[in-house]
Structure 1
Amino acid sequence: MNGLPGGVSVSHLRVYDWPAADGVGVAGSGSPHLHVVSSEAYVVLAGTGSVHTLSQSGFTVHPLRPGSIVSFGPGVVHRAVNDGDLEVLVLMSNAGLPEAGDAVLTFPAAVLADPAAYREAATLPGPGASDDELAAAARRRRDLALEGYAELGAAVDRLGPAALKPLHDAATRLVRPFAPRWQETWTRNVYPQNEDTAAALEGLFRGVAPHLARGSVSGVDANPAPRRYGMCGRLQTWPTPV
Structure 2
Amino acid sequence: MTSRTGPSTDSGTGEGFAGLPGAVAVSHLTVYDWEAADGLRGGTPHLHLTCSEGYAVTAGRGAVQTLATEGFASTPLEPGALVWFTPGTVHRLVNEGGLRLVVLMQNNGLPEAGDAVLTLPPEHLADPETYARAVRIPEGAEAEREAFARSRRDLAVEGFTTLRAAWDAGDGKPLLDFHRAAGALVRSRLADWRARWEAGAARAARETGVQLGRLAEGDVSHLADARTRSRLPHARGVFGMCGRLDTYVV
Please classify the TM superposition score into its range, dividing by the shorter chain length. Answer: over 0.9
The aligned amino acid for 2:78 is: R
The answer to whether residue 242 in structure 2 is matched with residue 229 in structure 1 is no
Q: Which of 24, 40, 45 in structure 2 is aligned with 1:8?
A: 24
8 Å CA contact retained: 1:58, 1:161: no
- Give, in angstroms, the shift of residue 165 of structure 1: 1.2
Show CA shifts across 1:5-26 (max 9, x none): 11101000000010011112xx
Indicate the percent of aligned positions where both proteins have the same amino acid. 47
- Give, in angstroms, the shift of residue 158 of structure 1: 1.9
Give the TM-score, by structure 1 length.
0.93
Q: Which of 206, 220, 231 in structure 2 is aligned with 1:220?
A: 231
Which protein has the larger Cα radius of gyration, Structure 1 or Structure 2? 2
The answer to whether residue 208 in structure 2 is matched with residue 197 in structure 1 is yes
The aligned amino acid for 1:233 is: G
Counterpart in the other structure of 1:42: 55
Consecutive unaligned residues in structure 2, runs of 5 or more: 1-16
- Give, in angstroms, the shift of residue 154 of structure 1: 1.0
The answer to whether residue 43 in structure 2 is matched with residue 60 in structure 1 is no
Give the TM-score, by structure 2 length.
0.90
3-state SS, counterpart of residue 193 of structure 1: helix
CA-atom RMSD, angstroms?
A: 1.4
Alpha-carbon distance in 1 for matches of 2:61, 2:171: 29
Consecutive unaligned residues in structure 1, runs of 5 or more: none
Alpha-carbon distance in 1 for matches of 2:76, 2:107: 26
Alpha-carbon distance in 1 for matches of 2:182, 2:232: 34
Alignment coverage as a number of residue pairs = 234
Counterpart in the other structure of 1:146: 157
The aligned amino acid for 2:135 is: A
8 Å CA contact retained: 1:58, 1:160: no
The aligned amino acid for 1:238 is: Y
Q: Which of 88, 92, 101 in structure 2 is aligned with 1:75?
A: 88
- Give, in angstroms, the shift of residue 162 of structure 1: 5.5
Alpha-carbon distance in 1 for matches of 2:215, 2:69: 40
The aligned amino acid for 2:48 is: H
Show CA shifts across 1:25-74 (max 9, x none): xxx11000000111100000000000000012200010000000110111
3-state SS, counterpart of residue 227 of structure 1: strand
- Give, in angstroms, the shift of residue 218 of structure 1: 1.1
